Amino acid sequence: MVVVMRSGATDTDVDKVVKAISEVGGDAFVSRGKHQTIVGLVGDLTQFAEMPLHAFPGVEDVIRVSKPYKLVSNDAHPRPSTVWVGNSPIGRETVTLIAGPCAVETEQQTIDACVMAKDAGATILRGGAYKPRTSPYAFQGLGEQGLDILHGVSRDLGLPFVTEVVTPADVETVAAKADMLQVGARNMQNFQLLKEVGMAGKPVLLKRGLTATIDEWIMAAEYIAHTGNLQVVLCERGIRTYEPMTRNTLDVSAVPVAQSLTHLPVIIDPSHSGGKRELVMPLIRAGIAVGADGIIVDVHPRPEVALCDGPQALIKDDMLSLRDTVVRYADAAGRSVAAPSIDHTVGAWGRSATS
């Protein structure tokens, strides 16, 4: 069950609900969203049956959630959420372009890739400083140095950035600089990492595991929400199938399915799913056509010398077509391309807030 508090509910109102639940032996956890607070109730529902929770001050609604995930379910929150990353929205009304290098390799490569991303209309940058590689001999990322490079480039270009964190020990360091934390496919069920990332209070990009069902993916999002952080974006990045022609198989059905079950935005990653440059644009078209709320794409100034995932990176010559494809397909889907909001610029993030 979920108790939805009114937008003007006070802390005392919330405390009264939590106390009443605890008194009958229930477990209550509070999620404070930007506009609304919800109190989740876990326990035997008969315990709560007699409780006049509707009548408590500040309570807007009491909803029975039959799904195993409570806080991210759209039963609890019928309106789709918009997650703000710095000054850029990700939500159901827009299509958000996130782009940048797979990995931060050097400062110049990062500048070049991020300028390409901005030219293509990206409102959020991406880049890996900590890389989860299949081989321990492959480039593992520049770590904190890479994070600093990406942070500097992001602030210079005036665009927020998302970057992956691979271990709970690094969450604090990454969260101090990044505007959004990415949990990669290989870590989707690293529950300790999900909890730590949730508690960092920054928006989270949760990639679907290579062999995860949609239910498992959404339950992983519930782990983050359970910490009180509802700013979660789901990312379909291709799943493992028997087909070797593509790196992974982009599960386009997962987009509308996840959107029908949760209130969270759902985006697609055409780069890590297709694994080939020539597949990126067709997969973007497919993703927007099935209703994806955004696209996260790898770009590189010189993929032939990239230290990670060169074959799938878009190049400078692709940027016009990337911008054009996103605009035209978003329009056909009845959406606009996400643009930075002035309201979220001043004091909320960026140079003025961090320097």
Give the interface with ligand PEP as residue ranges (CB under 6 A): 102, 128, 132, 164, 184-186, 207, 237, 269, 272
Does residue 309 bind Mn ion (CB under 5 A)?
yes
Q: How many CB atoms lie within 10 A of CB 33?
A: 17
Q: Which is nearer to Mn ion, 196 or 309 (CB)?
A: 309
Instruction: Determine the interface stretch with Mn ion among 203-211, 253-261, 302-310, 313-321 (rule: CB under 5 A).
Output: 302-310
Measured from the CB atom, the residue of 102 and 280 that comes closer to Mn ion is 102
- Name the minimum Å distance from CB 272 to Mn ion: 6
CB nearer to ligand PEP: give 19 or 240: 240
**In angstroms, what is the minimal distance from the CB of 48 to ligand PEP?**
39
Q: Tell me how far apart the alpha carbons of residues 133 and 136 are, in angstroms, rounded to a whole number.
A: 7
SS3 328: helix
List the single partner that 236 binds among Mn ion, ligand PEP, none, CB under 5 to 8 Å by kind.
none
196 touches which of Mn ion, ligand PEP, none (CB within 5 to 8 A by kind)? none
CB of 298 to ligand PEP, least distance (A): 7
Ranges within 15-54 binding Mn ion (CB under 5 A)? none
Residue nearest to ligand PEP (CB): 184
Please check whether residue 17 is in contact with residue 3, taking contact to mean a CB–CB distance below 8 angstroms. Answer: yes
Nearer to Mn ion by Cβ, of 105 and 309: the residue is 309
User: In the complex with Mn ion, which residue's Cβ is closer, 86 or 184?
Assistant: 184
Residue number with CB closer to Mn ion (70 or 272):
272
The partner in contact with residue 58, picked from Mn ion, ligand PEP, none with C-beta cut-offs of 5 to 8 angstroms by kind, is none
Interaction with Mn ion in 98-117: which residues (CB under 5 A)? 102
Q: Taking CB within 5 to 8 Å according to partner kind, which of Mn ion, ligand PEP, none is near residue 226?
A: none
At closest approach, how far in Å is the CB of 308 from Mn ion?
6
CA distance 343 to 257: 32
Question: Which residue's Cβ has the minimum distance to Mn ion?
Answer: 102
User: How many residues line the site for Mn ion (CB under 5 A)?
Assistant: 2
Q: Which is nearer to Mn ion, 236 or 309 (CB)?
A: 309
Shortest Å, Cβ 131 to ligand PEP: 7
Nearest approach, Cβ of residue 31 and ligand PEP (Å): 26
Per CB under 5 A, residues contacting Mn ion are 102, 309
